[in-house]
Amino acid sequence: MEKPATEVIKGDGWGRFPDDLEYHSGFGNHFESEVIAGSLPRGQNSPLICPFGLYAEQISGTSFTSPRKLSQRRSNTVANPTQLRWKPVDIPDSPTDFIDGLYTICGAGSSFLRHGFAIHMYIANKSMDNCAFCNADGDFLVVPQQGRLWITTECGRLQVSPGEIVVLPQGFRFVVDLPDGPSRGYVAEVFGTHFQLPDLGPIGANGLAASRDFLAPTAWFEDCPRPGFTIIQKFGGELFNARQDFSPFNVVAWHGNYVPYKYDLSKFCPYNTVLIDHGDPSINTVLTAPTDKPGVALLDFVIFPPRWLVAEHTFRPPYYHRNCMSEFMGLIYGGYEAKADGFLPGGASLHSCMTPHGPDTKTYEATVARGNEAGPHKITDTMAFMFESCLMPRTCPWALDSHFRDLDYYQCWIGLKSHFSHDKTDVKSNDLQNGNKSG
Ligand SMILES: O=C(O)Cc1cc(O)ccc1O
Ligand SMILES: [Fe+2]
């Protein structure tokens, strides 16, 4: 990617993003990106003297000796198996940037041991000012729900809208600007591993998220003094500050496959059952952070996008279940098929390992009332998602004590009646529709 040096913004800051930002397309690709033609060292990585008098640097996302195919706040917590749900948190009145407004809901494992995850949410109303964030603990997968994020990284700039996600890998310095004012969203953080595309197995070569729809930034830098600039580093869950008088966004050219990237969820090609029964949500995994056990995710990012429901003589919403995995859910827009009310865009729920959950009473009764032979039906204008982990999360006191917690969540299932009948082997949906009170 060549750009004339005259396009380089000197001292205008990172708050001004053009509408036509360019990206590199692909997932896990090795890219080359330079703002000034010829600034990337050729033939070697550490020349004695670099082009244009630059310094050569490296950022490692895996240990130096990882196999080639893999190359690329702390808070007291409590165990709580209850079904938990939160209403959307209000945008604060006081000035709050992305870092001030990041609060942890739950997590498991440890960044010190390089195994685990944390789930955070954020609410912000102002751009980060003369500071950048750097997470030494793990990778951030950010899911904005309201308000765009303009993110400046050492690799270049990304514009991320609600409906898109962005991955900011461990160690990258970044600034979050809010071009639209207030923003709210969700963050999954993984320790000790990185997100990958799921294997497609019998699906074949295409489907779900396509590599080419992942977009990495093109190189961008600024050449200006930044007196009192602060790098806020998260290290072992605690925040540390380092002062410098220059911008960290001084990378004129870069190459490699360890990069921030974004993805537009509307590009996702979902799969679903075409005859009977409800398919497990894993079928719509966008990205997965694996453990060493095949098929067991440290954290899966799964979506519930608009799609056709066509299954015959099937209870189409999610089945009632207990899961050995733990499920944190969020809603970007619209409604969620298993909850008639109470689960709102910007809100969240947590159903931990083996905690029973499923559709609320209204959803159950409406589904049965619709009857057995419901025709094809399209779920539209919705985007829910799940962070699903094999580790058992502990919940932060903030999240448990928050006045945004929906303490009446359990009520959504209280109305479920028993329809069991000793007299009949086959209770027809009509019986339910007619209000069979036998159970
Ligand atoms: O609990 C949930 O709402 C998430 C979910 C959805 C689904 O379609 C099947 C299983 C599951 O855990
Ligand atoms: Fe579930």
CA of 317, closest atom in ligand 1 = 8
Read off the pLDDT of residues 304-335 as tens digits, 9 standing for 90 and up.
Answer: 999 999 999 999 999 999 999 999 999 999 99
Cα angle vertex 257, ends 254, 260, to 5°? 80
pLDDT-based confidence at residue 424 (cuts at 50, 70, 90): low
Judging by beta carbons within 10 Å of its beta carbon (0-12, 13-18, 19+), is residue 4 exposed, middle or buried?
exposed
Provide the pLDDT for residue 425. Answer: 61
Q: For residue range 148-174, what is the model confidence (pLDDT) as tens digits?
A: 999 999 999 999 999 999 999 999 999
pLDDT at 435 over 70: no
CA angle 161, 90, 163 (to 5 degrees): 20
Question: Among candidates 141, 87, 98, which has minimal Cα distance to 123?
Answer: 98
Evaluate if residue 360 carries a pLDDT over 60: yes
pLDDT for the residue numbered 66: 65
pLDDT of residue 7: 38
Given CA atoms 113, 69, 255, 155 in this order, what sign does their dihedral have?
A: negative
Tell me, using a 6 A CB cutoff, whether residue 318 lines ligand 1.
Answer: yes
**327 in a known ligand binding site:** yes
Strand-pair partners of 134: 173, 233
CA 281 – ligand 1 centroid, Å: 6
The set of residues, in sequence order, having a beta carbon less than 8 Å from that of 328 and lying 6+ positions away, is 105, 106, 119, 348, 349, 350, 386, 387, 388, 389, 393
Q: Is 107 in the pocket of ligand 1 (CB under 6 A)?
A: no
Residue 280 has pLDDT above 50, yes or no: yes
C-beta of 281 in contact with ligand 1 (< 6 A) = yes
Substitution site in 84, 327, 329, 339 for ligand 1 pocket (most atoms within 8 Å of beta carbon): 327
Quote the tokens at residue 121: 């949410």
Per cent of the chain over pLDDT 90 is: 84
Smallest CA-to-CA distance from 311 within 279, 284, 335 is with 279
The answer to whether the CB of 327 is under 6 A from ligand 1 is yes
- Residue 385 C-alpha to ligand 1 middle, in angstroms? 10
Q: Whose CA is nearest to atom 8 of ligand 1?
A: 318
Q: Which helix (H) or strand (E) holds 379?
A: strand 377-379
Question: What would the pLDDT profile of 109-126 be if each residue is shown by its tens digit?
Answer: 999 999 999 999 999 999
Number of H helices, E strands in the chain: 4, 25
- pLDDT tops 60 at residue 436: no
**Domains contained in the chain, CATH given:** 21-48+71-266 (2.60.120.10), 268-404 (2.60.120.10)
Is the pLDDT at 407 greater than 70? The verdict is: yes
Candidates 40, 35, 32, 41; CA nearest to 4 is: 35
**Does the pLDDT at position 431 exceed 70?**
no
Measured in degrees and rounded to the nearest 5, phi and psi for residue 247 equal -80, 140
pLDDT higher than threshold 70 for residue 10: no
- Ligand 1 closest atom vs CA 388: 12
Q: How far apart, in whole angstroms, are the C-alpha atoms of residue 194 and residue 143?
A: 16
Quick one: pLDDT at residue 67? 67
The protein residue with its alpha carbon nearest to ligand 1, atom 6, reads: 318
CA 320 to chain centre: 25
Residue 164 known to bind ligand: no
The ligand 1 atom at the shortest distance from the C-alpha of residue 339 is: 3
* 84 Cα to the center of ligand 2, angstroms: 12
- 418 CB burial (10 A radius; 0-12, 13-18, 19+): exposed
> What's the CA-to-centroid distance between 278 and ligand 2, angstroms?
12
The predicted structure's pLDDT at residue 355: 97
Q: What is the pLDDT of residues 291-309, one digit of tens each?
A: 999 999 999 999 999 999 9
**pLDDT, tens only, 385-405:** 999 999 999 999 989 999 999
Q: Which residue has the tokens 């025709």?
A: 375
pLDDT of residue 427: 59
> Residue 428 — very low, low, confident or very high, per pLDDT cuts 50/70/90?
low
| Residues recognised as catalytic | 278
As given in the structure block, the two tokens for residue 335 are 């409604």
In this prediction, residue 142 carries a pLDDT of 98
Mean pLDDT, all residues of the chain = 91
Pick the residue with more confidence: 395 or 1? Answer: 395
The answer to whether 336 is a known ligand-binding residue is: yes
Beta carbons of 366 and 351 less than 8 angstroms apart = no
Whether 84 contacts 405, CB under 8 Å: yes
pLDDT at 134: 98
